[in-house]
Every structure is written in structure tokens, then in C-alpha cells.
Amino acid sequence: MVNPKTVLIVAPPSLIQRVFREMLNEHGYDVLYERSGYSSLAIGQDNAGIIDLSVVDWNYRGPRGGVSLAHSLQELSPDMSTLFYACNDGRLVLIPDPAEGLSGEEFTPATFLSYVGHLTIPAYYDLFH
């Protein structure tokens, strides 16, 4: 990767959050992490224009959770993309388009990295896929 891209993970401490963070670090991404919606907005404001992608728990129940949080973060960084994830019926699914609801694709490391690559550097991704 020529220029490291920055990803903000908004998730409570969990195995999922740790796996996402480790995978992104291993693939050269700069990773910011925050466990709550309010705190992530502060990070988003401090890093406006720097964050390329937020990874947000669709089911996050905090006061600024899920889709509402993603919209607030995008107001701070309009060029930032969002990838949602959710635990649904015992499966971890990735939701690149909120209009699709929980019908996203089941998590695999390859699928996760593919979505992240596509959402952070689409032109680069399209050249090789």
C-alpha cells in the first residue's frame, strides 16, 4: 500500500474488535479504536479529513450508535466510507450498504479485507480485482 489509510473501529472491547484491529494492522492500515459513540465523535473531529473508513457495529446501542453514529462521523469527514458489521443469528455479517439491512455477507478475513480495500482505495482495488 503506497499511503497508509486510516480506519476508525467503533466497537465495544471484544474478540471481533481485536480481530479487526489486528487484521488491519497486519495489512498496513493505521487503526484508531474507540469503544463508544461519543468518544468516537471526538476522535473523528480531531482527525477530520484523515479517517478513510469507519467500521461500526450496526447494533451498537449507545446514545450515538449504529447508523446515526456513522452519519455524524461522515459529517465530520464527508469523504469517509463506512462498513457496518453485525452479529445476526449467530453469524458475523459485513454490511457495506445500510439499505440492505442485515442481509450483508458473512464475515471471512478475505471478505473483510476486500471490503476495506474497496472502500478505502477503490481505484487501486479495481486494478487488481
Domain of residue 122, residue span? 6-128
Q: What does the pLDDT read at residue 6?
A: 94
The CATH number for 30's domain is 3.40.50.2300
CB-neighbour burial class of residue 89 (10 A; exposed 0-12, middle 13-18, buried 19+) = exposed
Q: What does the pLDDT read at residue 1?
A: 45
What pTM was estimated for this model as a whole?
0.85
Instruction: With a cut of 60, say whether residue 113 has pLDDT above it.
Output: yes
Q: What does the pLDDT read at residue 31?
A: 95
32 within domain boundaries: yes
Whole-number Å distance between alpha carbons of 19 and 3: 22
Domains contained in the chain, number: 1
What would the pLDDT profile of 47-74 be if each residue is shown by its tens digit? 999 999 999 988 877 656 688 888 899 9
Instruction: With a cut of 70, say whether residue 127 has pLDDT above it.
Output: no
101 within domain boundaries: yes
123 within domain boundaries: yes
What would the pLDDT profile of 68-108 be if each residue is shown by its tens digit? 888 899 999 998 999 999 887 788 888 887 777 666 788 98
Whole-number Å distance between alpha carbons of 21 and 49: 20
1 within domain boundaries: no
Mean pLDDT over the full length of the chain: 83
Instruction: With a cut of 80, say whether residue 125 has pLDDT above it.
Output: no
Q: Which pLDDT band holds residue 124 (cuts at 50, 70, 90)?
A: very low
